[in-house]
Amino acid sequence: MQQDSLFLTSDEADKKRFLESVSKAAEAISKSYTNTRAFSGLKPEEVKDMVSGVELLPKEGIGFDKTMAKVEEMVLPHMLKVSSTDYMAHLHSPPLMESLISELILASGNQSMDSWDQAPVATEIEVDVINQLCKLYGMPDGSDGIFTSGGTQSNLMGITLARDWFCNESLKHDVKKFGLPKEYNKIRIYTSEISHFSVEKSAHLLGLGYNSVVKVPVTANQKMDVDKLGKIIADDIDNGLIPMAVIGTVGTTDYGSIDDLNSIADLCTKFGLWLHADAAYGSGLILSNTASNRLSGIERCDSITVDFHKMFLLPISCGAFFLKDSKNFSHLTLHADYLNREEDEEEGYTNLVGKSMQTTRRFDALKVWMIFQSLGKDKLSDTIDKTLGNAQYFYNKVNSDPNFQVVTVPEISSVVFRYFESDASDEKLDTLNKRIRRDLIHTDGIVIGQTIFDGKVFLKLTLLNPLIESENLDKLINVIKEKSNYNK
Ligand SMILES: *Cc1c(COP(=O)(O)O)cnc(C)c1O
């Protein structure tokens, strides 16, 4: 193969090389799906040994074919197969077939979303996708949004804008110009005790510290206890603290439980607080013809985190951040002569960098644009509903089996449970459940999750894959039971 094509250009030789390389790679990728296992089973040391010894930067390159051969030998076989029905561990989805093509298109074009002159059609598509998504989530006129790298960045944006809005409105202090106000260490952010750790990370990054995050207890069904939230806020005010924002979780990472946004929104209105919805997980429910009402109240939130690389089954990375009042994006905007001149906006050139924490940014909006049109609402709804049904099925099975304990009824597609024997101590059960999970990975190539509930080790299924059938779940239950015997 010709080696001197550096780029895909209008040159016929370059085009030929592009087609050949892509088809070679596509063939190697599909060949690597040799069985239904989620993982080859290698231990960490085995993977390390295999990987070490590759010279990263030889003086002379070995060429595409030999490099691909290495990829075929070392990388592809040991990648986790996320489309496997034996992969049920995390909020980590199989990417829909057609979205792989979107990735190829957006990588080939390499548009950068910071300014119109780096991404002309891509900018207008992102703007349009965002506008239509705002409507889909029922947000009012004047709302806006931006694509992000995922939930962590979207949460950081929500809490940043909450801080800047709150300090401007309530403390008459401009954080953008002057940094934190002097009473910064009295500011409080409320979120449930099982919310995502990016809330605390954000508080740290924003100079407010972990202490600013108040963990509100959850009810038995793993939702924020809103009565307690109201009492805690009132007590904090009495104690001279400064409540700023509430972060509601729409689909907790472990349980998929959904906080009652309407009741939380009432409290936020009463106390003058920003309400951010972390819907990184649950945002996908919007596609469901049967369950989208579980998102009720999301349209009342000041800002929303949406992840497309979870329930929407799109490749990493793909997320978005929505804002009820687009004016609040001004807290992030800074004009640079070399990038986003003010005159551009006046002349109709949109530079999206003004709404983003990133500068150079991927054209991830293309993935949503293509998949929504190609599959359509009903088909996407079916994929979501299948996963909700699977979670319900598995819950019913383990809930009625004395050899299992389960935490709560699933609201989305996650079930937290553990293998259980009434005469075994919690300590013994912890060890047993941990061993079952490790053994599943390395012996059976089945990957499931693990977490802690009530101080005890629990196992977790996150059922994002609509290919999973009840038989896969029945098999898993049997395998777990068999393993509990070997391990005694
Ligand atoms: C996954 C998740 C996040 C983080 O999103 P990333 O896309 O992984 O950055 C935040 N919040 C919740 C509830 C999540 O489940």
Q: What is the pLDDT of residues 278-293, one digit of tens each?
A: 999 999 999 999 999 9
Between the two ends of the chain, the Cα-to-Cα distance in Å is: 58
List the residue whose alpha carbon is closest to atom 10 of ligand 1.
151
List the residue whose alpha carbon is closest to atom 3 of ligand 1.
151
DSSP code string of 232-260: HHHHHHHTT-EEEEEEEEBS-TTT--B--
Distance CA 183, CA 247 (A): 21
Q: How many whole angstroms from 335 Cα to the centroid of ligand 1?
A: 30
Q: Is 3's pLDDT higher than 60?
A: no
Residue with tokens 């952010």: 189
Q: 41-76 pLDDT, tens per residue?
A: 899 999 999 999 899 999 999 999 999 999 999 999
Q: What is the pLDDT of residue 332?
A: 87
Q: What is the pLDDT of residue 488?
A: 53
Question: Contact 326/143 with Cβ under 8 angstroms?
Answer: yes
- With a CB cutoff of 8 Å and minimum separation 6, the contacts of 311 are 93, 281, 282, 283, 284, 285, 287, 384, 387, 412, 413, 464
Q: Which of 175, 190, 149 is nearest to 359 (CA)?
A: 149
Phi, psi dihedral angles at 392 (to 5 degrees): -65, -40
Pocket of ligand 1 (CB under 6 A): 91, 150-152, 155, 196, 198, 249, 253, 278, 280-281, 307, 319
Phi, psi dihedral angles at 281 (to 5 degrees): -85, -60
- With a CB cutoff of 8 Å and minimum separation 6, the contacts of 23 are none
Q: How many whole angstroms from 152 Cα to the centroid of ligand 1?
A: 6
Choose the residue to mutate in 149, 223, 281 for probing ligand 1, maximizing ligand atoms within 8 Å of C-beta: 281
List the residue whose alpha carbon is closest to atom 8 of ligand 1.
151
Confidence bin at 254 (pLDDT 50/70/90): very high
Q: How many whole angstroms from 334 Cα to the centroid of ligand 1?
A: 27
Distance CA 354, CA 361 (A): 12
Q: What is the pLDDT of residue 2?
A: 47
List the residue whose alpha carbon is closest to atom 4 of ligand 1.
151
Confidence bin at 129 (pLDDT 50/70/90): very high
- With a CB cutoff of 8 Å and minimum separation 6, the contacts of 172 are none
Give whole-number Cα distances, 368 to 148, 200, 315, 431, in Å.
Answer: 13, 29, 10, 42
Q: How many whole angstroms from 64 Cα to the centroid of ligand 1?
A: 36
Question: Contact 193/228 with Cβ under 8 angstroms?
Answer: no
Q: How many whole angstroms from 181 Cα to the centroid of ligand 1?
A: 29
Q: How many whole angstroms from 278 Cα to the centroid of ligand 1?
A: 8
Q: Is 211's pLDDT higher than 90?
A: yes
Question: Contact 372/381 with Cβ under 8 angstroms?
Answer: no
Q: In 36-181, which residue ranges form alpha helices assigned H by DSSP?
A: 44-51, 63-70, 97-109, 120-136, 151-170, 175-178
DSSP code string of 398-444: HHT-TTEEE-S--SSSEEEEEE--TTS-HHHHHHHHHHHHHHIIIII
Average pLDDT, the chain: 96
Q: What is the position in ligand 1's atom list of the atom closest to the CA of 150?
A: 7
Question: Contact 338/99 with Cβ under 8 angstroms?
Answer: no
Q: How many whole angstroms from 150 Cα to the centroid of ligand 1?
A: 7
Q: What is the pLDDT of residue 4?
A: 75
Q: How many whole angstroms from 151 Cα to the centroid of ligand 1?
A: 4
Q: Is 487's pLDDT higher than 90?
A: no
- Give the pTM: 0.96
Q: What is the position in ligand 1's atom list of the atom closest to the CA of 151?
A: 5
Q: Is 304's pLDDT higher than 90?
A: yes
